[in-house]
């Protein structure tokens, strides 16, 4: 248990439980899973060289208990197939029903091992793909419940842990050849003495610098990109990312426009979203000469190592991780010296616990963390993870991607001010969707998906040429 855990506190935001309820009184009784899909393909928000017309989606779960306490979690997808992740979440959630909050949080590392331990479900993973993304929705909902109970944001729940309590949340199976529990404990203990200084940054909304992809979607016209980029400069942004990989001359032109707008000293990053092979990635990037994210297949560890080795003499860094399936693949990327930036994803990994494992490994290998946040609700998740990393693990500020698309569907959307994320203080994990958003965007029967525009999107995949 967390060392300063308070077991009888009121729940904020109208989601209360009795002051007499202890964690042992709170039993998970049932769950509801929603297939939420948002029509971002209408204005090609989120478009890149691999994903031309995504509809940002959430396999969204609500856990209910024997008290008034509820919690939420989701896994992010981009449209078709979201129903598969929803089913994966239901299968994992069955393992939570009947358990008390006390027994589930007494040893979170053990609980995580229990949730991935169904041998028949492991057969369709193991610890990867649809079933693992379904796991992440459930694990994140459990962390949301725990944080709501103790009336803290998730980042603070973790930051208030002792180093030993932090380490107990991690399943070290398969990664002890990279970092042991003893090494992890020593790493965290070494940062405890300066944590108060970093906490002051969080309180001053200066813990997490922001960069934006909002102007850089591949499907945007030059005029739209220019307008959005000028607007973000006015808002205080000084770091930007563009999607590339469709056509090299088009990429060169767009990069030139962006550089003329932001000037020579502000950061410009590029993202190919896995569209290239290894040789192609090297050749293409030598023509663009900027930092590159996801240059090739997310599963190609040696390919990333080859790309990094070829580009390093030219001062071009390599990042990946948003589709890295588990802590084991991150371990290999780090051991192979294949990346300059480690991009954890709150939903592709198996929730907070597995993210914590990767944060520890990245710290040991000296690789900075920059979470992937390009999706509705992902930013709300990753603002917590970025703060956890800064306060507890890395001790160094790292960038975080800012995406504002469909922010109105979240009850507590993030804020960015003066180029930094505003630290969230509401209890929980910040990912509760509004009731009206659920009614409108639930697939296939929500109000939008029954409209003319919704029906046209649903027919799109049937009309594609081979």
Read off the tokens for 456.
């046209």
How far is 190 from 168, CA to CA, in rounded Å?
Answer: 17
The catalytically annotated residue of 17, 152, 243, 420 is 243
Angle at 341 between CA 251 and CA 270, to 5 degrees: 10
243 is catalytic: yes
How far is 52 from 453, CA to CA, in rounded Å?
Answer: 18
The catalytically annotated residue of 304, 331, 372, 420 is 372
How far is 63 from 288, CA to CA, in rounded Å?
Answer: 47
- Strands of the sheet with 267-271, listed across from one edge: 341-342, 318-320, 291-293, 267-271, 239-243, 210-212, 400-402
Any idea which residues carry the catalytic annotation? 243, 372
């Amino acid at each position: 248990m967390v060392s300063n855990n308070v077991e009888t506190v009121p729940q904020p935001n109208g989601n209360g439980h009795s002051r007499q309820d202890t964690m042992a009184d709170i039993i998970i009784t049932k769950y509801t899973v929603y297939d939420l899909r948002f029509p971002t393909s209408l204005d090609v928000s989120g478009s890149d060289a691999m994903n031309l017309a995504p509809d940002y989606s959430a396999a969204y779960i609500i856990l209910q208990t024997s008290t008034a306490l509820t919690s939420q979690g989701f896994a992010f997808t981009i449209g078709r197939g979201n129903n598969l992740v929803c089913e994966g979440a239901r299968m994992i959630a069955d393992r939570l029903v009947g358990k008390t909050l006390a027994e589930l949080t007494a040893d979170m590392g053990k609980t995580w091992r229990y949730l991935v331990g169904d041998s028949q479900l492991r057969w369709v993973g193991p610890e990867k793909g649809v079933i693992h993304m379904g796991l992440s929705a459930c694990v994140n909902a459990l962390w949301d419940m725990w944080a709501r109970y103790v009336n803290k944001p998730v980042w603070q729940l973790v930051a208030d842990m002792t180093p030993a309590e932090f380490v107990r949340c991690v399943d070290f199976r398969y990664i002890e050849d990279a970092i042991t529990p003893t090494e992890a404990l020593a790493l965290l203990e070494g940062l405890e003495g300066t944590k108060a200084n970093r906490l002051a940054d969080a309180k001053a909304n200066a813990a997490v610098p922001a960069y934006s992809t909002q102007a850089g979607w591949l499907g945007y016209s030059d005029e739209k990109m220019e307008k959005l980029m000028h607007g973000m400069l006015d808002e205080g942004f000084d770091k930007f990312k563009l999607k590339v990989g469709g056509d090299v001359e088009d990429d060169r032109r767009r990069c030139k426009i962006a550089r003329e707008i932001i000037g020579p000293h502000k950061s410009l990053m590029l993202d190919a979203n896995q569209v290239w092979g290894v040789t192609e990635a090297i050749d293409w990037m030598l023509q663009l000469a900027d930092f590159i994210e996801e240059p090739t297949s997310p599963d190609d560890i040696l390919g990333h190592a080859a790309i990094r080795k070829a580009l390093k003499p030219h001062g071009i860094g390599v990042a990946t991780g948003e589709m890295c399936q588990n802590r084991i693949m991150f371990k290999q990327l780090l051991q192979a010296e294949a990346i300059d930036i480690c991009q954890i994803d709150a939903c592709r990994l198996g929730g907070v616990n597995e993210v914590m494992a990767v944060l520890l490994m990245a710290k040991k290998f000296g690789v900075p963390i920059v979470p992937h946040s390009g999706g509705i609700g992902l930013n709300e998740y990753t603002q917590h993870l970025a703060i956890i990393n800064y306060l507890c693990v890395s001790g160094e500020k790292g960038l975080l991607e800012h995406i504002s698309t469909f922010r109105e569907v979240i009850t507590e959307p993030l804020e960015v001010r003066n180029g930094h994320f505003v630290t969230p203080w509401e209890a929980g994990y910040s990912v509760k969707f509004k009731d009206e958003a659920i009614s409108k965007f639930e697939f296939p029967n929500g109000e939008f998906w029954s409209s003319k525009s919704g029906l046209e999107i649903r027919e799109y995949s049937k009309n594609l040429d081979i």
